Amino acid sequence: MEDNNKIFRRKVFVITGGTGSFGNVMARHLLTLDVAEVRILSRDESKQDLMRRTINDQRMSFYIGDVRDSTSLEMAFRGADYVFHAAALKHVPSSEFHPVEAVKTNVMGTENVIRASIANNIEKIVLLSTDKAVQPVNVMGMSKGIMERTALSFARLVEDKPKICITRYGNVIASRGSVVPHFLRQAKEGHQLTITDPSMTRFIMSLVEAVDLVIYAFNNGESGDLFVQKSPAATVQQIAEVTNRLVGRSGNEHKIIGVRHGEKKFETLVSEEEIRKSVDCGQFYKVPMDDRSLNYDNYVSVGVRVPEVQKEYNSDNTSRLTNDELFEILANNAEVKEILENVK
């Protein structure tokens, strides 16, 4: 923390999509340090007003804008030092019905953010991605995958700054739209929990860990690096059982509704191709950018040897939480506690 305080001292940060779950936790973290300013860029003035009143720190500034509109980024980025890009369309069903809208925000919006960073001499930008971008089966994941490739294309071309890094993570506990708040509301209202597939697995990660991953990428990443945090997983059945336990309900009161459009049995954080070149950093994987020439004429007569195949890193082959371990994680999670207090 002391090192971050030195690096971040008197610096100006922009968080796009800053009124979301990640933005709220990241802003609070930054404000524990000696930063000059934290700028929140988002479209929703109501959420901005709530965030302003809840955090109540004079170092926070709020900008109404949309990453789809490059001109609305100009004032927020002017004079800033670093950018955390969290703005995105994240809901799988919405993107399935409106794929072009997902592309406008997740792909074109990212291009706008990077171009605005270049124009304003931003030193470093960290972009937030998702496990759904790996071997995607839905539009949200596809658009996030193209977002990652868009960022890498700029990382190859930009010689000086900004440095462009990517983080990729799985299911974040109690983030908006995730299964935990949905189950908690169903349980508190006395309804059966609606399970898609009991054996479906998902990575389990807290918002604090999501912030830690972004900070790790910020501190350790070179342009084009992608970072993943090693995380345990649980089945949807486990999450449902532990949710019932959290609200004091006996038995496993749930019904199986079947897999929805665009859902996988398990999610992948590092693909088989990526893990061959990844660097094991202990709690994290780093996947360096493949910066070889894309002129394929260079490889007509001479290629590159591919290492022996390693397994991809996914929610089915990572460590599996027990119900008791999952209960401890959820019971001590600040966002889960808040949901339990607010839902009657």
* Domain definitions of the chain by residue range: 2-169+206-230
Using left for φ > 0, alpha for ψ between -120 and 50, and beta otherwise, residue 10 falls in left
Q: Sign (positive/negative) of CA torsion 183, 339, 205, 261?
A: positive
Q: Provide the residue-wise pLDDT of the chain in tens; the chain has 344 residues.
A: 457 778 899 999 999 999 999 999 999 999 999 999 999 999 999 999 999 999 999 999 999 999 999 999 999 999 999 999 999 999 888 999 999 999 999 999 999 999 999 999 999 999 999 999 999 999 999 999 999 999 999 999 998 899 999 999 988 887 776 788 888 888 888 888 988 899 999 999 999 999 999 999 999 999 999 999 999 999 999 999 998 888 887 666 678 888 777 788 999 999 999 999 999 999 999 999 988 777 777 666 666 666 665 789 999 999 999 999 999 999 999 888 888 887 65
Q: Are 244 and 287 in contact (CB under 8 A)?
A: no
Pick the catalytic residue from 90, 124, 132, 264: 132
The confidence score (pLDDT) of residue 302 equals: 65
Q: Does the predicted model carry a pTM greater than 0.75? A: yes
Q: What is the model's pLDDT at position 257? A: 84
- What pLDDT does residue 1 have? 47
Joined tokens for residue 215: 């900070």
2-169+206-230 in CATH: which number?
A: 3.40.50.720
Q: CA 265 to CA 13: how far, in whole Å?
A: 37
Residues counted in the chain: 344
Note if 264 is an active site residue.
no
What is the reported pLDDT for 66? 97
Cβ atoms < 10 Å from Cβ of 21: 21
What pLDDT is attached to residue 18?
A: 97
pLDDT of the residue at 196: 86
